[in-house]
Amino acid sequence: MPTTDRLRDGLAREIGAERILSGPSVERTYESDAYNVDRSQPTVVVLPESTDEVAKVVRWCRREGIPFTARGAGTGLSGGAMPALGGVVISTKKLNRILEIDLPNRRMRAQAGVTNIALSKAVAAHGLHFAPDPSSQTVATLGGNIAENSGGPHTLKYGVTAPHILGLTLIDAEGEILELERGFGPDWIGMVVGSEGTLGVVTEAWVRLTPVPEHVETALACFGTVREASECVSAIISRGVLPAALEMMDRNILMALRAAFGLEFPDATQAMLLVECDGPREACRQEIEAVEQAFRDFGAITQQRARDAAERAKLWTARKKGVGAMGRLAPSVVTHDGVIPRSKLPEMLDAVYEIAARYQIGVANLFHAGDGNLHPCFYFDDRDPRQVEAVVAAGTEVIQKCIELGGSVTGEHGIGVEKLDLMGLMFSPGDLAYQARLKEIFGTNELCNPCKVLPNQRGCQEHRLRWRGVAT
């Protein structure tokens, strides 16, 4: 890898010295995202302000053979923004402008570094919003949402990020500026969304603006067994109701919430379901009544429905503060991400508890039950190497079970570097070779966010021990 000075000088000629950061604190800040098990430091970080500047940086990297990795807010949970082979991190921090709001056509053009919440705030007065709502939305960026195809509690009804992207500007791995739009022909946008920044750098996008629903109903129920709650999830959907959100929390999460925030629930509660329906008032009322009937049919101990916005916010407390409360359970928490067909939830949750018990580690579950998107959180003491080992092994077993039940190794956190080894559980070598060819369509080379998504890429294996900090 060329020296920091050489990189600084070369890039300074392209976009100006003031847009380039380097030094020990920069290296530490940008060495990982929110998945900090693996780390790798960049040589420099650049802060371009426009599509042209990003293109200049990428072309320069290409000419010089320097790896480059795009980065938004760094909230990714699989190591996607970690500069695996060092080189240049292209931060979208200064690509932070909303460029055009087209209200009649319900769309907005924004730069990739704008936060998810800022998109919605910009049009809130007009009764519109950007529908994808990851829990990290106050800081996570549009570019990060696009790269990870992020979802959130309301994905069940409104979909993940992909359907909300109408067009985008991509600097491909060769430094070409591609304007992609929804039109006739293959869905190129669908291919770029979710590609974890490995097909190029997104600098701008047109996003779809969705009307804020006319009416919302939110209900919550407590169940005496996890099985009743998880069977109720399938029943709600089978009865023809498509809620906007259908979330589940188990007893361990609730106990943490009780300790941290005084959450109240009946002592016999083993699981809680939170369901939100939205749409035209009458249809919405009918849907929530059908949900409440399902609660009763599956033996809910208690149930309540929000009467106004304040009560709705209260009902959402358990879901929204759950991750924060987890800190009370143990020094360390690892959140997994896997998907199963939702009808398999009862069997899957039985397996999660059995696996945790066998490895003697704690587990709590709070997740997007309606999508079958599981987030088992293992809590443990990371100062004990045996517990760390147990958590890693238990996590792999959970994901193996997801695949056995016909699911996916990830529903929203992505592959990054974390799940490289698990891709082989879901895809055959032939499938993976085909995916490598799909990547090549974008002229992708080994410099553009290297070592992510596909396992066994050339020149990556030997770096894996270094990322874990165990290389000599």
Ligand X SMILES: Cc1cc2nc3c(=O)[nH]c(=O)nc-3n(C[C@H](O)[C@H](O)[C@H](O)COP(=O)(O)OP(=O)(O)OC[C@H]3O[C@@H](n4cnc5c(N)ncnc54)[C@H](O)[C@@H]3O)c2cc1C
Give, as ranges, the residues between 195 and 254 that touch another protein (CB under 8 A): 195, 234, 237-238, 240-242
**Shortest separation between residue 416's beta carbon and ligand X, angstroms:** 6
Of another protein, ligand X, none, which one does residue 92 interact with (CB within 5 to 8 Å by kind)? ligand X
Q: How far apart are the first and last CA of the chain?
A: 18
Give the type of residue at 388: V
- Spell out the residues 6+ positions from residue 413 whose beta carbon is closer than 8 angstroms to its own: 35, 76, 77, 78, 148, 337
* Adjacent-strand bridge partners of 271: 223, 250
Task: Report the alpha-carbon distance of residue 207 to residue 168 in Å, rounded.
Answer: 9
Residue nearer to another protein on the CB measure, 80 or 86: 80
Task: Report the alpha-carbon distance of residue 199 to residue 202 in Å, rounded.
Answer: 9
Using CB under 6 A, which of 10, 42, 72, 87 touches ligand X? 72
User: For another protein, which stretch binds (CB under 8 A), given 47-55, 296-304, 348-356, 422-430?
Assistant: 422-430
Residue 87 as a binder of ligand X (CB under 6 A): the answer is no
Interface mask (CB under 6 A) for ligand X, residues 391-430, using x and -? Answer: ---------------------x------------------
Alpha-carbon torsion, ordered 108, 114, 118, 120, to 10 deg: 40
**Shortest separation between residue 30's beta carbon and ligand X, angstroms:** 10
Q: Look at residues 380, 412, 401 and name the one whose alpha carbon lies nearest to residue 77.
A: 412
Residue nearer to ligand X on the CB measure, 57 or 201: 201
Using CB under 6 A, which of 43, 120, 145, 230 touches ligand X? 145
Looking at residue 133, the DSSP 8-state letter turns out to be -
Using CB under 6 A, which of 147, 165, 291, 294 touches ligand X? 147
Of another protein, ligand X, none, which one does residue 145 interact with (CB within 5 to 8 Å by kind)? ligand X
Of another protein, ligand X, none, which one does residue 27 interact with (CB within 5 to 8 Å by kind)? none
Rounded to 5 degrees, what are φ and ψ at 427? -125, 145
Residue 135 as a binder of ligand X (CB under 6 A): the answer is yes
Alpha-carbon torsion, ordered 18, 20, 25, 27, to 10 deg: 180
Angle, vertex CA 355, rays to CA 351 and CA 359, nearest 5:
170
Residue nearer to ligand X on the CB measure, 94 or 314: 94
Helix (H, G, I), strand (E, B) or coil at 262: coil
What's the burial of 140, exposed, middle or buried (CB within 10 Å: 0-12/13-18/19+)?
buried
Task: Report the alpha-carbon distance of residue 467 to residue 39 in Å, rounded.
Answer: 5
**CB 340 within 8 Å of CB 402:** yes
Interface mask (CB under 8 A) for another protein, residues 262-301, using x and -? Answer: -----------------x---x------------------
Looking at residue 94, the DSSP 8-state letter turns out to be T
> Any alpha helices (H) in 209-280, and if so which ranges?
226-238, 251-261
> Contacts with another protein in 147-206 (CB under 8 A)?
148-149, 151, 155, 159-160, 162-163, 166, 176, 178-188, 190-191, 193-195
Residue 169 as a binder of ligand X (CB under 6 A): the answer is no
Residue 412 as a binder of another protein (CB under 8 A): the answer is yes
Q: Supply the Cα-derived Rg of the chain in whole angstroms.
A: 23
**Shortest separation between residue 82's beta carbon and ligand X, angstroms:** 8
**CB 84 within 8 Å of CB 92:** no
**Shortest separation between residue 111's beta carbon and ligand X, angstroms:** 9
Residue nearer to ligand X on the CB measure, 36 or 360: 36
Residues that bind ligand X (CB under 6 A): 33-34, 69-77, 80-81, 92, 112, 134-136, 140-141, 143-145, 147-148, 150-152, 196-197, 201-202, 323, 412, 449
